[in-house]
Amino acid sequence: MNVAIVRFLGTNCEWDMHHAYTMLGARACFVWFADSALPKGTDLVILPGGFSYGDYLRCGAIARFAPIMSAVAEFAKKGGRVLGICNGFQILLESGLLQGALMRNHSGRFVSKMSTLRVQSNDNAFLQGLPKGACLRIPIAHADGCYYTPNYESLREHDQILLCYDDNPNGSMHDIAGICNEAKNVFGLMPHPERAMESLLGSTDGVALLRNLLC
């Protein structure tokens, strides 16, 4: 499986993701934001975490205009799998590939800690094989992670809510931590599964999530 990891100015979690997918046996490569095409044979595109363009405007608002995002959108339109984590999730929302918005944490502070999540839906490639209600320990690290959408009922009706927080560290609507698009091939979440791949890091729960997208 070929995994393309997109780098923007300010991305800082790309090597974590590269390490995670290399551990899982995938061929991972980096793609520069100024490129106009994805590598041939790409099976999965990842927008990793960080602070694209310093987040000086609105998180992900500038990155959405990067040349590579046209290729990512076309890839997704054709059914290709796309995963956005933290800042990558923000970029997917700003690009319209996922619905909703992410705002400042209710506390007004950057939050970095281990978080407990619950699986809300397993009818998708990202969480297939995991039972509904399953508990996952995945770290978070963000200041703008409060998810909101005016179309919550539509998300719920189409089974697009994937993960919810047990402790809601940012004030997200209905505790939402991760969602997908209606076609269920574009996934976004604030927690960092690539930081929960080895017991040394305090959890291996990220393995199940990231491995699923290679199936």
Summarize pLDDT for 153-169 with one digit per residue, the tens.
Answer: 999 999 999 999 999 99
Going by pLDDT thresholds of 50, 70 and 90, the confidence category of residue 144 is: very high
Task: Please give the share of the chain, as a percent, with pLDDT higher than 90.
Answer: 97
Take residue 32 and report the two structure tokens written for it.
């520069």
- pLDDT value for 57: 83
Q: What is the pTM of this model?
A: 0.96
* Local confidence band at 2 (pLDDT 50, 70, 90 cut-offs): very high
- Active site includes 135? no
- Is 194 noted as a catalytic residue in this protein? yes
Position 127: which residue type?
L
Are the beta carbons of 113 and 139 closer than 8 angstroms? yes
Confidence of residue 215 (pLDDT cuts 50, 70, 90): confident
Superfamily (CATH) of domain 2-212: Class I glutamine amidotransferase (GATase) domain (3.40.50.880)
pLDDT computed for residue 47 by the predictor: 98
| Active-site residue identified among 13, 94, 180, 192 | 192
Active site includes 142? Answer: no
Rg of the chain over all Cα atoms, to the nearest angstrom:
15
Round to whole Å and give the CA distance between 19 and 192. Answer: 13
Half-sphere exposure of 99 (CA within 13 A, CB side): 15
Find out whether 191 and 117 touch, Cβ atoms under 8 Å: yes
32-71 pLDDT tens trace: 999 999 999 999 999 999 999 998 888 999 999 999 999 9
Q: Which letter does DSSP use for residue 203 in this model?
A: B
Average pLDDT of every residue of the chain: 97
Q: Which amino acid is at 137?
A: R
Could you state, in order of their start, the residue ranges of all structural domains in the chain?
2-212
Q: Which of 86, 142, 146, 180 is catalytic?
A: 86
**pLDDT tens-digit series, residues 87-131:** 999 999 999 999 999 999 999 999 999 999 999 999 999 999 899
Residue 28: per-residue pLDDT: 98
What's the pLDDT score for residue 56? 83
In terms of Cα–Cα distance, which of 55, 54, 14 is closest to 32? Answer: 14
The answer to whether 167 and 115 have CB atoms below 8 angstroms apart is yes
Mean pLDDT over 133-137 rounds to 97
Closest C-alpha among 2, 135, 6, 139 to residue 68: 6
